Structure 1
Amino acid sequence: MAFTINDLQDLTRLLATRPEWLSEVRRLVLTEELLSLPDIVRSLAEAQRRTEQRLEELAEAQRRTEQRLEELAEAQRRTEETVRRLVNQMAEVRGDTLEIKFRDKAHAYFGRWLRRARVVPFIELEEQLESKLTDDELVELSLTDILVHGRPRLALGADEVWLAVEVSSVVDANDVSRAQQRAALLRRAGLRAVPVAVGARIIPQARSLAETLNVALMRDGADEGWERAYQAATQN
């Protein structure tokens, strides 16, 4: 028999007094899927909570990884900087060693170019140059690695010349430029001067610039461009 309105009201009042019947009524009225919906929602909520927790853990792990990578990058930068300093220091030591070698054996190395080749300390020239160069120019000239004096072997009776020598373990364009500039200062002061750059190795850019600026080169006892550099210096 179908329920009437009164019957439904009676049922409502009855369920209000017997709440334990509600679950059975739900089971009869609702589908299994609807009945399980609260559990599904709770499971989804728990899964969402776990997912969010995992995402937070992953984010924290990523943050730590990024921090570690930054620390490693900084450590690598410091290591590279230390290596560069050591390389520069070693280059300076090799350069200083070469300078001492060429200074102590100037006649052996530069004797092929000059008769009676000898190293002259800048202090012996300073008074002679003071009236012809500015203070800044004198300071610049005093920084020349080696000043060598002698008579060229290219021609008998040739006038004495000076060599403005720059020494470096690896001769680069800067060494060539310095030699040219310092020889030019000597010529400005009235002295015949030839620019020279010497070292254990000469990079291609330095060799190319030396040809342009008429700077003589020497490496392991072998020389390049001496005649060209001498002719250019004595024609000015």
Structure 2
Amino acid sequence: MAYSVADVEGFLRVLRENPEWRDAVPREVLGEELLSLPDLVRQNSEDIRALKEVVRQNSEDIRELHALVRQNSEDIRDLVRVTQRHETWLTKIDGRLESAEGRLSETRWRERFSGRFGGLVRRARLVSPRDLELFEDADDHERITEAEADAVRRLDILIEGTRKRGTREEVLLAVEVSNTIDRKDMSRVSARAATLRKVGYNAIPVLAGARMDASLKAEAERAGIEVVLTPGDILEFDPLTGAPIQLPADDDE
């Protein structure tokens, strides 16, 4: 059916005369879905604004998280530096304690040499490398190396006496003192006693200390090394000052 311009103008005139009909026309022409489109657009706009706010808040949270991570990383680096300083300090303290324990132990063995080594020799007397003429002469005439001579001079204790068991011959005890005796002590004392034997002394290697593994002790004795242990010499030290806090009494005192 064809409509003329007059029909349209008439239709518009009717709408102007009856404004209550105007809302009905869009519903008939466009349908409810198209009519609801503006509301949907407005709702979408609100949702987009809300989403932008969430994104903005998330961005702030992420920035705060980054700042927190940076701060934590700095704190961790500071903690690592402090820990490293403490480890260095503890290493130094440990070295000082070991050194102090060694000096105290050597002093106790030297002061009580007669009783402690009485099971090995009679008429025990302390000597120094300077007292050993054969040794000094061999060093002067280079019959031993400089390293061998220096090693003998680093012996903790030298004791002359008459062997208590067997032939009762004159012997020289070459003594290494260590609170915890290990394989290195065995090697050192064997080599140093061998040097003394090379220059003419009846030198016996001796290991003196507070602790030694039983199997290592048996190995040392098989190698001809005398072992003298005094477990009461195990000392305790103040971890801060390094001073001994316990000095157990010896049986030979």
Matches for 1:133-152 after TM superposition, within 5 Å: 133-152=144-163
Structure 1 equivalent of residue 249 of structure 2: none
Structure 2 equivalent of residue 44 of structure 1: 51
Letter in 1 for 2:202: R
Indicate the SS of the match to 1:111: coil
Partners of 2:120 and 2:163 within 8 A in 1: yes
- Equivalents in 1 of 2:221, 2:54: separation in Å? 78
Partner residue of 1:129 out of 121, 127, 138: 138
Letter in 1 for 2:164: R
Aligned length: 196
- Equivalents in 2 of 1:43, 1:210: separation in Å? 85
Matched, 1:55 2:65: no
Partner residue of 1:93 out of 97, 100, 105: 100
Structure 2 equivalent of residue 77 of structure 1: 84
- Provide the aligned C-alpha RMSD in A: 2.6
Unaligned ranges ≥5, structure 1: 1-6, 8-26, 223-236
Structure 1 equivalent of residue 166 of structure 2: 155
Partners of 1:198 and 1:219 within 8 A in 2: yes
- Equivalents in 1 of 2:118, 2:60: separation in Å? 82
Letter in 2 for 1:44: L
Q: Please, what TM-score do these two structures have when normalized by structure 2? A: 0.68
Partner residue of 1:179 out of 179, 182, 189: 189
| Cα drift, residue 142 of structure 1 | 0.9
- Equivalents in 2 of 1:75, 1:205: separation in Å? 42
Partners of 1:148 and 1:164 within 8 A in 2: yes
Structure 2 equivalent of residue 230 of structure 1: none
Deviations 1:103-131 (A, max 9, x none): 12221111211111111111222423313
Letter in 2 for 1:140: A
Matched, 1:164 2:174: yes
- Equivalents in 1 of 2:193, 2:37: separation in Å? 106
Indicate the SS of the match to 1:133: coil
Matched, 1:218 2:228: yes
- Equivalents in 2 of 1:169, 1:32: separation in Å? 92
- Equivalents in 1 of 2:218, 2:51: separation in Å? 76
Letter in 2 for 1:103: R
Percent of residue pairs identical: 29
| Cα drift, residue 152 of structure 1 | 0.9
Unaligned ranges ≥5, structure 2: 1-7, 9-33, 233-253
Partners of 1:91 and 1:169 within 8 A in 2: no
| Cα drift, residue 162 of structure 1 | 1.5
| Cα drift, residue 204 of structure 1 | 5.3
Partners of 1:92 and 1:169 within 8 A in 2: no
